[in-house]
Amino acid sequence: MSLRFTITDWSAFAPGLASHDRWLDWARAPCLPVGDDTPTVARMPVILRRRLERIGRVALQPVYDCQLSHDGDIPHVFASRHGDLSRTYGMLQSLTRGEQLSPTAFGLSTHNAIAALYGIACGMRGSHVAVSAGATSAEAAVVEALGLLNQGAREVIVVMYDSPLPDDYRVFADEPQCHYAWAWRIALADSGSDVFSLVSGSGAAHLNTSRCLPHGLDVLRFVISGLDTMQFADRGRLWCWRRHG
């Protein structure tokens, strides 16, 4: 299986960061995005858009920004470490009060709900996959996408998003927290573009990651900053990202 790929287009959103130019400036001096900015997701029909919490709007705006008119059969891989945890937390609070749960709220709390709403809105005929792999959810998404590309997909749209944990869960946080999302259109390696690879093994990482960012956002920083390599170790496994020019 080829482990090399190109990124043919990308988009991202975080508070205070929406345009490519703002993101490129941020990549040169990264900091944790803060603020209440929430995208409008204006291209999504209102009847579906109103079902989205803030994290859903943050997640889908970059996907719409990368969408082309003929994308109905392109596979999508959505990745999130925590998903729409605020909605799940709200249902748990309802249970403690002895209240009945809303079937709609339960359906919208599942890990693939945001992807499913997007698929309905866009009339997608291709597959979508929702993955979660802890701190290395971004790596899991790219591995899944590479599998789809090697099975014949011409492109795959990879989406990574997350949001801060609810207050009662903050004690379990092991990385900085913020609202963010990015989307990449990826294809198998093309010698005319920047070529990336992702490989894993055992060992310890060199400290070239940013400790001020959640790892999924640090992955975006690596891609848009022009760095040659980035390593990340988690639970005894070393992940190495490379740019081959």
CA 202 – CA 134 distance, rounded (Å)? 17
Q: Which pLDDT does position 10 carry in this prediction?
A: 96
- Top pLDDT among 22 and 99 is at 22
Q: Which pLDDT does position 236 carry in this prediction?
A: 83
> 4-192 sits in which CATH class?
alpha beta
Q: Which pLDDT does position 205 carry in this prediction?
A: 58
pLDDT band, very low/low/confident/very high, at 121 (cuts 50, 70, 90)? very high
Report the candidate in 193, 194, 225, 195 with the shortest Cα–Cα distance to residue 208.
225
Q: Which pLDDT does position 241 carry in this prediction?
A: 95
SS (H, E, C) 197-223: EEEEEECCCCCCCCCCCCHHHHHHHHH
- Top pLDDT among 101 and 210 is at 101
pLDDT exceeds 80 at position 245: no
pLDDT band, very low/low/confident/very high, at 2 (cuts 50, 70, 90)? low
Helices 215-225 + 137-150 axis angle, to 10 = 60
Facing residues of 188 across strands? 5
Q: Which pLDDT does position 191 carry in this prediction?
A: 59
End-to-end CA distance of the chain: 20
SS3 content of the chain, % helix, strand, coil (to 5): 35, 25, 40
Q: What percent of the chain has pLDDT over 70?
A: 95
Q: What is the pLDDT of residues 182-217, one digit of tens each?
A: 999 999 987 567 899 999 887 665 555 567 899 999
Report the candidate in 36, 33, 29 with the shortest Cα–Cα distance to residue 17.
33
Q: Which pLDDT does position 54 carry in this prediction?
A: 94
Tell me phi and psi for residue 115, to 5 degrees: -65, -40
pLDDT band, very low/low/confident/very high, at 138 (cuts 50, 70, 90)? very high
Q: Which pLDDT does position 102 carry in this prediction?
A: 83
Contact 198, 139 (CB under 8 A): yes
Q: Which pLDDT does position 160 carry in this prediction?
A: 98
DSSP single-letter state for residue 108: H
pLDDT (mean) for 169-185: 94
Helices 215-225 + 20-28 axis angle, to 10 = 100
CA 42 – CA 59 distance, rounded (Å)? 13
> Domain spans of the chain?
4-192
Q: Which pLDDT does position 20 carry in this prediction?
A: 95
